[in-house]
Structure 1
Amino acid sequence: MDLTLKAVDLSWEDGCNIIVGQSHFIKTIEDIPEILATSVPGIQYGLAFCEASGPCLIRTEGTDSDLIDQAVACAQKVAAGHTFFLILRNCYPINVLDRIKACPEVVHLFAATANELQLVVASTDQGNGIIGAIDGFAPKGVESDSDKADRKSLLRTIGYKLG
């Protein structure tokens, strides 16, 4: 059996975030939309789930056809069974991650980001599997006092910290 590794670049709409995960059951394609609808009213998203047996289809749901198409494009590039690609608009992953992690069939989350993203994909004769994520870029240094002040200001400006 041969094993190959490759980095797969993913892309999606600027200003959106992506969550990439692994799940063990087709039920995920209905459970994640229910989680989203009850977590963030009016959420906009596209979801693609790669079925790993039977017809092995990419199953889709979402509120926006462009976001669904982008999620499908990511799923097609990676082509790994039992993975899902969720693209969010006007919502941050922090708003839904706890509930997605608590979904009974979700096994693992690889990334939740708006950064440039590469997935490390292993391939065998059986198929592909995600083994890791490269999220953004390497650190360029350690934050200064000014950088700390900027970070604290940002978190308060976007409403994730008080006063």
Structure 2
Amino acid sequence: MNAQNFTTEVIPMYNPDAKNFIFGQSHFIKTVEDLHEVLVGAVPGIQFGLAFCEASGPRLIRTSGTSQSMIDLAVKNAQAVGCGHAFFIFLDNAFPINVLNVVKMVPEVTRIYAATANPLEVIVARTKQGGAVLGVVDGGSPLGVEKPEEIQHRKDLLRKFGYKL
């Protein structure tokens, strides 16, 4: 067996305005157009930016979207993480809950690492060949267990947002 050296790093996602985003992985350049199509089909008027890290050939960051500022944000994070076949979708007037299922149904999508507006750190391994996402740190660790007043607040919040009757 031939052992190969690697390094690990923790990369904080750049998201100064706490925009919602989806971070995932796929396997084919067709991902860019297919994700664009399902996003605009799921939420009329959606404002988003998409960046996809090509893993072979010219190995470019491929982009699409309806908002240049969201595309720029997706590209900045794609450049920082730099792992083949990773994609980043930043949302401006929608939430992951509105589009996550259609994103997961795109045939090229192999996994979703996170769908959040929380501070996110990406744990990456680097080899001579490239980078691999090992996992993510999404937000902070729990500080306790909810009590009856927190349970009621959670239920009220879901109703306020219109997700429950």
Q: TM-score, normalised by structure 2?
A: 0.96
- Which residue of the partner structure matches residue 94 of structure 2? 91
Asked whether the equivalents of residues 16 and 90 of structure 1 are also in contact (C-alpha less than 8 Å), the reply is: no
Give the secondary-structure state (helix, strand or coil) at the position aligned to 1:56.
coil
Hey, which bits of structure 1, 4+ residues long, moved more than 2 A?
A: none
Distance 1:18 1:79 in 2: 17
- Which residue of the partner structure matches residue 3 of structure 1? 6
- Which residue of the partner structure matches residue 84 of structure 2? 81
Asked whether the equivalents of residues 48 and 58 of structure 1 are also in contact (C-alpha less than 8 Å), the reply is: yes
Identity of aligned residues (%): 53
- The offset of 1:49, in angstroms, is 0.3
- The offset of 1:4, in angstroms, is 1.2
Asked whether the equivalents of residues 18 and 119 of structure 2 are also in contact (C-alpha less than 8 Å), the reply is: no
For structure 2, the residue ranges without an aligned partner over 5 or more in a row are none
- Which residue of the partner structure matches residue 155 of structure 1? 158
Give 1:29's match in structure 2, choosing from 29, 32, 39: 32
- Which residue of the partner structure matches residue 117 of structure 2? 114
For structure 1, the residue ranges without an aligned partner over 5 or more in a row are none
Q: TM-score, normalised by structure 1?
A: 0.97
| Structure 2 counterparts to residues 17-56 of structure 1, below 5 A | 17-56=20-59
Asked whether the equivalents of residues 47 and 92 of structure 2 are also in contact (C-alpha less than 8 Å), the reply is: yes
Q: How many residues align?
A: 162
1:125 aligns with 2:125: no
Paired letter, 1:135? D
Give the secondary-structure state (helix, strand or coil) at the position aligned to 2:5.
coil
